[in-house]
Chain A
């Protein structure tokens, strides 16, 4: 359904995404992992068409998304990493605005919006200015905005960031439920445990390149590991986290 072909992105000559290829099929949840600065968000933005690729292409149902980006975005739901919203609007006003821009029928929009606000525990704060929202509340608004129009492809860029435990659990089940309804989901997260339980397949990115693309079980077999955390550590970590942590602690207490 969604395919990335040899994606490359350079900023001022510095390559941040280098020859990344993967695909996400309908009904599949693909985890997208990598340390900070590995190019996850850049890849996600290229997949939405928000930034242009330096080379390579993103295809949706076989067509390059740049051929008709608007048609693609009609079927795309995206939760960005940074919750940048219009802070002078309330949560409800923002959702109404997005729904209206997407030309959703008013009654459908109102019904869905009210129900989703209620289900995500945001109905009490829906009329407050977004400026007063916590990060988790903003994430919930973004999540609702991404789901309002029943998209076929969902790109979640660290959607669990700032969410409370209950909502994180709801989100986990929601992603699975959406996949069962035929949606293609690309899920970027730092919570390895969540990705391990949620995703059919995992792509691991390191320094802008794909270093693994397989199911969690296959990766565990391949790396003779018991958990995704161990696989991730073997693929990505170049230093022992314990040693790094000890060095940091030593530095903190050093007053010389």
Chain B
């Protein structure tokens, strides 16, 4: 009874999440999330099954090869989504000082608290994992050409193998993240771990989000792209381990079917496919062994790290971090003397930096935008032959537009996160200390975005551009990027008359209508700018005209913003969503 109560308490903690509004109905959120997961996976399984139903005469060899793509996709999704889930629940994956404060004084042995916490984690992960794999498992036999003479036992074996491999891959993704977290905590100690936790968390979100976004474009032809040794060895791609396991468990169900006489349309391809599939068997064996060994190793390390970290209930630890003091002072001096001089601007600047790095919802949103940006970079670069030498005239527009798109994605995410309060309970500080003029504070916020989002993005791209475009054009391209970033920041905040990070989050009513238009405008704008840039850069008059126009535009938008802000608008610190939003009529 006591254990069950504690497990339920810890399960509820997974819903007590920073990413969720404190006013949201937890049960509704849980129901909605579970439904979305099950329905999405069912839809995907149905979508994948359609091609088999449209090719009812597909012979066994080709079916085996085509099915590898599906297994790779579904197993990758299970692994990545479960990894993302673990990253999303980062702080709830371990006991914290609040648990010690609440449960410590009760006559419950610490071992029971630790045990029930991990039972809750296992139940939570298992529930989500099963929900994720349910659709494709149920639909497994539908994803077969109807003319294949698969027996009932064979169909059961296929279903069981998929269920096992997909849930094992999902569990691997979840446990790997938990293992990374707990191992780092065990190695660094609780105090040091607190310092690196935010960075680690953001890196994992970027990694899994990027992998998820790149997956749809990279899963097809898995046998030829990933399993045959061309670019990346198959053993370095964890989802392939479980694909190998699946083939070892159930691959012979289809491969072992009598071939008969395939239709002339498939005859040659069927022969090649069968040869290819059978040539992969040794690799499947190695992959399957790796899947088992890696799973056991990850579980062992994670359990060991968890046991080590939970020898006693977590206590509040206080550290004095005097390392990098000179560096911090140097940064402070530079920021307050060169970047933001006015006190209110400094407040906006430093508060933005603190919120972005230390508040989980803000960090995750920015990390997700970086993942989107990285995906765009990978897709763009993947679509161009980087071995040839480029000059400005031959540089594809997509490569020039990349910078604008990347900046656009990151700054759009930034524009979103400023609407999310850093801590709504502490927002009274703004109300009391507010000077009434949002301009300097907002200037500080924008400069913080420029310093920590725009400049690193441009530097990251600059390194690649120097290699592709040469230093001169790369420098001019980076200057264009900076101009575009400043212009976009001004435009994004043009009608913003609130206080960043201070007010309660009010969802946009017209996001569904405006969102696609915004994305379209960004794509068209980025390509148009790239075309202009390509035409202008390279000749001095062209460059002068191009940068002159950019500066004029920037000054114009800035002047417009200033004229808007000349009239003071009182800030509504208690802004409430509209009736339609509160009644969920916009969903």
* Partner-B contacts on A (CB < 8 A): 48-50, 70, 73-74, 76, 78, 80, 82, 84-89, 93-94, 96-106, 109, 125, 127-128, 132, 145
Chain B, residues 416-429, CB within 8 Å of chain A (1/0): the string is: 00000011011011
Cβ–Cβ contact B428 & A84, under 8 A: yes
Contact A98:B433 (CB < 8 A) given known A88-B358, A93-B354, A106-B336: yes
- State A28–B441 Cα separation when bound (angstroms): 36
- State A104–B346 Cα separation when bound (angstroms): 11
Cβ–Cβ contact A100 & B429, under 8 A: no
* Nearest neighbor of B321 in chain A, beta-carbon distance: A127
Chain B, residues 302-326, CB within 8 Å of chain A (1/0): the string is: 0000000000000011111100000
Cβ–Cβ contact B433 & A73, under 8 A: yes
Contact A100:B425 (CB < 8 A) given known A50-B432, A73-B434, A93-B354: no
Please give the distance in Å from B23's CB to the nearest CB on chain A.
16
Q: Can you list 20 pairs linking A and B with CB atoms under 8 Å apart?
A: A48-B432, A80-B428, A86-B354, A86-B422, A86-B426, A86-B429, A87-B423, A96-B350, A97-B429, A100-B343, A100-B347, A101-B343, A101-B347, A101-B435, A102-B343, A103-B342, A103-B343, A105-B343, A132-B317, A145-B433
Contact A99:B343 (CB < 8 A) given known A50-B428, A88-B358, A125-B318: yes
- State A88–B321 Cα separation when bound (angstroms): 15
Does B344 count as interface, using CB distance less than 8 angstroms? yes
- State A104–B428 Cα separation when bound (angstroms): 19
Nearest 7 A-B pairs (CB), nearest first?
A: A100-B347, A88-B358, A70-B436, A101-B433, A100-B343, A84-B425, A101-B347
Contact A103:B344 (CB < 8 A) given known A88-B359, A93-B354, A132-B318: yes
* Nearest neighbor of B357 in chain A, beta-carbon distance: A88
- State A27–B359 Cα separation when bound (angstroms): 42
* Nearest neighbor of B429 in chain A, beta-carbon distance: A98
Does B431 count as interface, using CB distance less than 8 angstroms? yes
Does B430 count as interface, using CB distance less than 8 angstroms? yes
- Which residues of chain A have C-beta atoms less than 8 A from B219's C-beta? none
- State A104–B342 Cα separation when bound (angstroms): 10
- State A74–B436 Cα separation when bound (angstroms): 10
Cβ–Cβ contact B350 & A97, under 8 A: yes
- State A132–B431 Cα separation when bound (angstroms): 25
- Which residues of chain B have C-beta atoms less than 8 A from A103's C-beta? 342-344, 435
- Which residues of chain A have C-beta atoms less than 8 A from B441's C-beta? 101
Does B46 count as interface, using CB distance less than 8 angstroms? no
Chain B, residues 429-473, CB within 8 Å of chain A (1/0): the string is: 111111110000100000000000000000000000000000000
Please give the distance in Å from B111's CB to the nearest CB on chain A.
26
* Nearest neighbor of B422 in chain A, beta-carbon distance: A86
Does B57 count as interface, using CB distance less than 8 angstroms? no
Cβ–Cβ contact B350 & A93, under 8 A: yes
Contact A104:B432 (CB < 8 A) given known A86-B422, A87-B423, A125-B318: no
* Nearest neighbor of A94 in chain B, beta-carbon distance: B429
- State A103–B438 Cα separation when bound (angstroms): 12
- Which residues of chain A have C-beta atoms less than 8 A from B316's C-beta? 132
* Nearest neighbor of B194 in chain A, beta-carbon distance: A129
- Which residues of chain B have C-beta atoms less than 8 A from A84's C-beta? 423, 425-426, 428
- State A72–B158 Cα separation when bound (angstroms): 73
- State A127–B329 Cα separation when bound (angstroms): 13
Considering only residues 346-390 of chain B, those with a C-beta below 8 Å from chain A are 346-347, 350-351, 354-355, 358-359
- Which residues of chain B have C-beta atoms less than 8 A from A128's C-beta? 318-320
Greatest chain A CB density within 10 A among B319, B342, B343, B354 is at: B343
Cβ–Cβ contact A109 & B429, under 8 A: no
Please give the distance in Å from B540's CB to the nearest CB on chain A.
43
- Which residues of chain A have C-beta atoms less than 8 A from B429's C-beta? 85-86, 94, 97-98, 101, 145
- Which residues of chain B have C-beta atoms less than 8 A from A99's C-beta? 343
Cβ–Cβ contact A86 & B432, under 8 A: no
- State A102–B342 Cα separation when bound (angstroms): 11
- State A84–B421 Cα separation when bound (angstroms): 14
Cβ–Cβ contact A97 & B436, under 8 A: no
Contact A70:B434 (CB < 8 A) given known A99-B343, A106-B336: yes
Please give the distance in Å from A72's CB to the nearest CB on chain B.
10
Q: Given A86-B422, A86-B423, 4 other A-B contacts at CB below 8 A?
A: A85-B429, A101-B441, A106-B336, A128-B320
Cβ–Cβ contact B343 & A127, under 8 A: no
- State A165–B585 Cα separation when bound (angstroms): 55
Please give the distance in Å from B314's CB to the nearest CB on chain A.
12
- Which residues of chain B have C-beta atoms less than 8 A from A76's C-beta? 432
- Which residues of chain B have C-beta atoms less than 8 A from A93's C-beta? 350, 354
Cβ–Cβ contact B354 & A88, under 8 A: yes
Cβ–Cβ contact A101 & B344, under 8 A: yes
- Which residues of chain B have C-beta atoms less than 8 A from A96's C-beta? 346-347, 350
- Which residues of chain A have C-beta atoms less than 8 A from B435's C-beta? 70, 74, 101-103
Cβ–Cβ contact B347 & A97, under 8 A: yes
Chain B, residues 322-341, CB within 8 Å of chain A (1/0): the string is: 00000000000000100000
- Which residues of chain B have C-beta atoms less than 8 A from A89's C-beta? 354, 358
* Nearest neighbor of B344 in chain A, beta-carbon distance: A103
Cβ–Cβ contact B434 & A101, under 8 A: yes
Contact A100:B428 (CB < 8 A) given known A70-B436, A132-B318: no
Contact A85:B426 (CB < 8 A) given known A101-B344, A104-B343, A127-B320: yes
Greatest chain B CB density within 10 A among A70, A76, A109 is at: A70
- Which residues of chain A have C-beta atoms less than 8 A from B318's C-beta? 125, 128, 132
- Which residues of chain B have C-beta atoms less than 8 A from A87's C-beta? 423, 426
Cβ–Cβ contact B346 & A100, under 8 A: yes
Greatest chain B CB density within 10 A among A106, A109, A125 is at: A106
- State A94–B432 Cα separation when bound (angstroms): 14
- State A88–B433 Cα separation when bound (angstroms): 19
- State A73–B428 Cα separation when bound (angstroms): 12
* Nearest neighbor of A106 in chain B, beta-carbon distance: B343
Cβ–Cβ contact B343 & A50, under 8 A: no
- State A20–B344 Cα separation when bound (angstroms): 36
- State A82–B433 Cα separation when bound (angstroms): 17
- State A17–B226 Cα separation when bound (angstroms): 71
- Which residues of chain B have C-beta atoms less than 8 A from A70's C-beta? 434-436
Please give the distance in Å from B100's CB to the nearest CB on chain A.
13
- Which residues of chain A have C-beta atoms less than 8 A from B430's C-beta? 101
Please give the distance in Å from B441's CB to the nearest CB on chain A.
7
- Which residues of chain B have C-beta atoms less than 8 A from A85's C-beta? 426, 429
